[in-house]
Structures are given as structure tokens and as C-alpha cells.
């Protein structure tokens, strides 16, 4: 089993993990109302998905 010979500094460890940061969430525009929504999801503003009403938002 491998045993480390020297302590790895925080700077060296964090350089290795530089690409582990979270990416920004991608947003798409609703074709019905123009609100920013997540792709492949029902619009929370108007209730449409791919141009069709899915959720009745009136009421």
C-alpha cells in the first residue's frame, strides 16, 4: 500500500481540484411567455411545455 512521504500542501491539493467547481445552470426561454426556464421542463410562469399547455395556471 502506498504511503505518502511528504504532506501535500493546501495550494497543491486545490490546484488539482480546480475543475471541480459547479457549473452555472443553463436556462432557456419559454416560447409562450418568454420567461427564463430550465430546459426540458414545464414553464413555471405560464404552464406550457413545447408550446402546449400542460398545467392550468388560471384560477
Q: What is the mean pLDDT of each run of 10 residues along the chain (59 residues)?
A: 90 89 90 92 92 84
Residue 47 lies in a domain: yes
Q: What pTM does this model have?
A: 0.57
CA dist 8 and 15 (Å) reads 11
* Nearest alpha-carbon partner for 38 in 30, 46, 10: 30
Residue 46, C-beta contacts closer than 8 angstroms, at least 6 positions apart: 30, 32, 33, 35, 57
Q: How far apart are CA 19 and CA 28, in angstroms?
A: 25
| Residue 37 placed within a domain | yes
Domain count, the chain: 1
Q: Which domain holds residue 52?
A: 27-59
CA pseudo-torsion sign 46, 31, 50, 42: negative
Evaluate whether residue 4 is within a structural domain: no
Amino acid at each position: 500500500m502506498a504511503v505518502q512521504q511528504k504532506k501535500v500542501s493546501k495550494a497543491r491539493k486545490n490546484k488539482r481540484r480546480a475543475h471541480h467547481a459547479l457549473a452555472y445552470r443553463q436556462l432557456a426561454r419559454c416560447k409562450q411567455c418568454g420567461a427564463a426556464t430550465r430546459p426540458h421542463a414545464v414553464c413555471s410562469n405560464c404552464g406550457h411545455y413545447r408550446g402546449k399547455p400542460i398545467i392550468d395556471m388560471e384560477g
